[in-house]
Amino acid sequence: MLVRGWLLRIGRVAVVAIAAYFAFRWLEPQGLGWVVLLVAGVAAAAWIGWRAYRIRRARAEDARADRWAQALMSPPERPAAVRELREAIAGLDLAKARSRTERAHLTLVLAELLEADGDPAGALEALEALPADALGERLAAVVRHARAVSHLSAGDPAAAREALDEAPGRSGDRQVDLRIRMLRGLILAETGDAEGALEAAEHARDEAGDDADLRTEARLLKAAALDAAGDRPDALRVMAAVGDEMLEVLTVLGLPRIRGLAADALEAREDED
């Protein structure tokens, strides 16, 4: 895709250059060649200015995204990040399809921050404001997944299942579909069907293939299922295998059962040391 993009840019430049050359050859005998040079100069300056603006905007957006990501793990920074996100969402022109998509992405980040801050009700309120019928299949599925996570975080697995059942079909994105099936497995664990959750974890591990993130999430599901079955030692053993760095993240961003397992796995690791 990157190579194709550069080839398209080079092609556009070549077309403009050829057009400018023939325009100059046609106007120069009439003493008007300078017009072509002037127009070319103005166009070049405008293009450079536009590219500089796009680069500055992209860097500003990257910096903003970095602040939000950092706020997820830093409680003192979350209120400012939440305010910034709410202001960004409020400033969007929802008459534009692109703005509606951006609103969904920003709202998903906002929900993550609110979840991390222990406010699943606030996360749900933000997510419920998104009209699912205005989103594509993949993004609508991601939003349903986020709503289900908030319900599960609030201790309501029945509502979490209902959120996923709003559109039980596939989204067309393998990773999203597998994550939804794993979340259904977590719902099974929270509703007492530990065997069904373990089976879901095994299927998820097989379907994850070489995708390290999906394999890790399948491992978390297995740990939750073992814990729901009353096998805490094995659950902690499975959880500890994700590594200390991930465990620290999960103590902040995981669902309640996952957070508890991650915290206990870290504590056990410290006792061993």
The Cα–Cα gap between 112 and 237 comes to 27
Final residue in a domain of this structure, among 168, 191, 221: 168
In a domain, 41, yes or no: no
Instruction: Show Cβ contacts of residue 137 under 8 Å, excluding neighbours closer than 6 positions.
Output: 171, 172
Domain count, the chain: 2
The three-state secondary structure class of 205 is helix
| 133: DSSP letter | G
Residue 117 has phi, psi (to 5 degrees) of -90, 10
Residues 227, 203 within the same domain: yes
pLDDT number for residue 123: 92
Q: What's at 102, amino acid-wise? A: E
**Considering 168, 197, 212, which residue would you say is the last residue of a domain?**
168
Q: What is the pLDDT along the chain (273 residues), one digit of tens a residue?
A: 444 544 455 555 555 556 555 555 555 565 555 555 555 555 555 555 545 545 555 555 556 667 787 888 888 999 999 998 899 888 887 767 677 888 888 999 999 999 988 899 999 999 998 876 667 888 888 999 999 999 999 999 999 999 999 877 777 889 999 999 999 999 999 999 999 999 999 999 999 999 999 999 999 999 999 999 999 999 999 999 999 999 999 998 889 999 999 999 989 876 665
- Kindly state whether residues 95 and 132 are assigned to the same domain: yes
DSSP type of residue 129: T
Question: What pLDDT is recorded for position 206?
Answer: 94
Flag whether 251 is in a domain: yes
Is residue 49 included in any domain, yes or no? no
Domain boundary among 168, 186, 211: 168
Contact 199, 183 (CB under 8 A): no
End-to-end CA distance of the chain: 48
- Residue 240 resides in a domain: yes
Q: What was the pLDDT predicted at 11? A: 52
Domain assignment of residue 238, given as a range: 173-273
Structure token digits, residue 9: 């840019």
Regarding whether 179 and 148 lie in a shared domain, the answer is no
- Residue 46 domain-assigned (yes or no): no
> What CATH number is attached to the domain comprising 224?
1.25.40
Tell me the pTM: 0.75
Residues 228 and 251 in one domain: yes
